[in-house]
Amino acid sequence: MPLDETTTAGEVMAGVDLSGRTVIVTGASTGIGLETAANLAAAGARVVTGVRNEEKGKATVATVADRVEGAAVEFGVIDLTSFASIRTFAEEFLGRNEPVHLLINNAGVMNTPFEHTVEGYELQFGTNHLGHFLLTNLLAPALLAGAPARVVNLSSGGHRSSDILWDDPNFEHRPYEKMTAYGQSKTANVLFSVELDRRLAGRGVHAYAVHPGVINTELGRYMNSDDYDALLARVKASGRVMPQRKSIEGGAATSLWAATAPELAERGGLYLEDCHVSEALPYATDPEAAKRLWALSEEFVGQTFSP
């Protein structure tokens, strides 16, 4: 059957066998992340769920195990607002000398009040981009060991709200605008996918940016009626139409397609939605902007990563 905006996670994964594959999914305790993790486990993968604390981790493992008989699932604590937490997880995982075949960078925050990560970066940019940038690069040796491997970065159609604010990404000199900050972080997810694929594709690791659709999950917990009205106004002003809401099963479909579709095996650096290759705005896929963001991100995380 053709895949489109109505496709569900189960339909994408029908007949997929991931036996012997190791997968890491961040933000796996609820919503799309939990649905993604459960479907990957059902396909036979060993799934490591990245969660913010031990309590959420135990609950996530129990939920997946309850849904999937015989699931090989565990958890690791990854607080994406803390570089120290990310480094601790990566060090412990790499200490196992095990490959990673799929890394699903699913976790995220949206339209938050003006807050900062532990290291002082604007919360949405710091969590959605910098945390995953650091995690992915630290895990690169395991991804290369698992090649052919894939990295799936959850972006959003919300990238249309803002390019990277190159002169002030942390809103130190301009008034904070939460939708702009979210848009910047989602543009960063696409640019990161472009540059990561350029660097690692020749060694068997491809990267993809995914727009999952509009879904009711905990991601929207900071959204109020005024925020939603402002979002509708932005969509209308751009000449677009607000898409229909998807179920959580539908929201996980494109992530799973990016992770498993055979037709993507030799392609990467792509923006995907509704289980097909789509197009982000030009500023989000510009190769030179992607290189510039990589350099800025290395500066922020305090570490340089080899190509």
Catalytic residues: 182
What does the alpha-carbon distance between residue 53 and residue 35 come to, in Å, rounded to a whole number?
19
**What region does 39 belong to: left with phi over 0, alpha with psi -120 to 50, or beta?**
alpha
What phi and psi, each to the nearest 5 degrees, are found at residue 149?
-130, 165
Q: Which amino acid is at 271?
A: Y
- Pairing relation of β-strands 46-51 and 245-246? unpaired
What phi and psi, each to the nearest 5 degrees, are found at residue 191?
-60, -40
The DSSP code sequence of 10-50 is HHHHTT---TT-EEEEESTTSHHHHHHHHHHHHTT-EEEEE
Q: Which amino acid is at 263?
A: E
